[in-house]
A and B are shown apart, each in its own frame.
Chain A
Amino acid sequence: MGFLTKPRQKRVWYQALGALAINAWLPNWLSGQIFQGKIKGVCVPVLNCYSCPSALGACPIGSIQTFFGGLRFNLSVAEKKFGLYVIGLLGVVGSIIGRMPCGWLCPFGLLQELMHKIPTPKLRVPRFFSSFRYVFLAVLVVALPLLIVDTMGFGQTWFCKWVCPAGTLEAGVPLVLLNEGLRGLVGFMYFWKIGLLVLFLGWMAVSKRPFCRAVCPLGAILGLFNKGSLFRMAVDDEKCTLCDACHKDCPVDIKIYESANSPDCVRCLKCVSSCEYGAISYDFLGKHETAADRRVSGEA
């Protein structure tokens, strides 16, 4: 089982196990139904559609849009539902580990890393694209659900409806294939979302985790906590030779020696292993580890 202890392969196993654990109700892939147990109110800290047939938990981005979309109606009937549960849960995860779930658990992150292994010409995502995910968060997740409402006062889940390729892949494709009733309802929106999914899949093949970096509103939220979380990355300037090995290995193409706790970092810890000089380390509740420590403990 030596292959499990190699960090590069080991994280893939965590990601695969995370995807499976979050989507463990596998019999629904045959029936075309979705899981409806009482635990499904628990939001998972990754982008995983709750309409995926096997999803055991709720998508925090879909849930928060539902709260914002229903806020004006709820206020009009004196119903106190503000989305504090979802905001609080994301804040708790963020204040402990920041964006680490993106690097270790997110099924859509795993898909992007696997797609990038396809041998194609590779393209860098321009750095300013990282700002776009805040636009998606502010406009499609917060503003439009709050501001554009129907006659009853309900807003829509704009990000889910117009953009989310995770929902299309994990729920749209299987549910429409497995349900004749849903197949009859397919129209423009479905083909719009399929088209976007195809575009994203192509982009994943040529660029490193483009959705996480330029679009994902959940990554935008969790990334804001990277600088203030209990888990911290650190770069020792005296040991760092600027060899760029960490940058070449980084799945989100960042230079950690420029900003150790950048909001773009998904904390996969590849850089800790790839640094030959032990310059990159992490600290969590007093536990401090560098590449040298990982080698000693048999993880590299």
Chain B
Amino acid sequence: MKRKLPWVLLTIFLALMVAGLLLGEYKMVLEKAVTVCLDCIGIG
């Protein structure tokens, strides 16, 4: 029997990822990632 759950999950999360990209979230991640994270290094 072919399992449907993984394909359903994949479709849902792919749609979420695309929605996030369309909302410009990549830029927000990029802005955070190219700045030294003071919290991460224990200085924040």
B1 at the interface (CB under 8 A from A): no
Chain B residue at smallest Cβ distance from A184 = B43
In the complex, what distance in Å separates the CA atom of A229 from the CA atom of B5?
8
Chain B residue at smallest Cβ distance from A225 = B9
Asked if A171 and B16 make an inter-chain contact with CB atoms under 8 angstroms apart, the answer reads no
Q: How far is the CB of B25 from chain A (nearest CB, A)?
A: 4
With beta carbons under 8 angstroms apart, the residue of A49, A85, A94, A228 that contacts B26 is: A85
Say yes or no: A88-B16 contact (C-beta < 8 A), given A160-B40, A189-B43, A229-B6. yes
Residues of chain A having any CB pair with chain B under 8 Å: 34-36, 38, 40-41, 43, 49-51, 55, 57-59, 62-63, 66-67, 70, 80-92, 94-96, 156-157, 160-161, 164, 167-168, 171-172, 175-176, 182, 185-187, 189-194, 225, 228-230
Asked if B30 and A62 make an inter-chain contact with CB atoms under 8 angstroms apart, the answer reads no
Residues of chain B having any CB pair with chain A under 8 Å: 5-7, 9-10, 12-21, 23-30, 32-34, 36-44
What is the count of residue pairs linking A and B with beta-carbon distances less than 8 angstroms? 166
* Chain A residue contacts of B41, Cβ below 8 A: 51, 167-168, 171-172, 175-176, 182, 190, 193
Q: How far is the CB of B23 from chain A (nearest CB, A)?
A: 5
Asked if B42 and A168 make an inter-chain contact with CB atoms under 8 angstroms apart, the answer reads yes
With beta carbons under 8 angstroms apart, the residue of B15, B16, B18, B29 that contacts A63 is: B29
Q: How far is the CB of A28 from chain B (nearest CB, A)?
A: 11
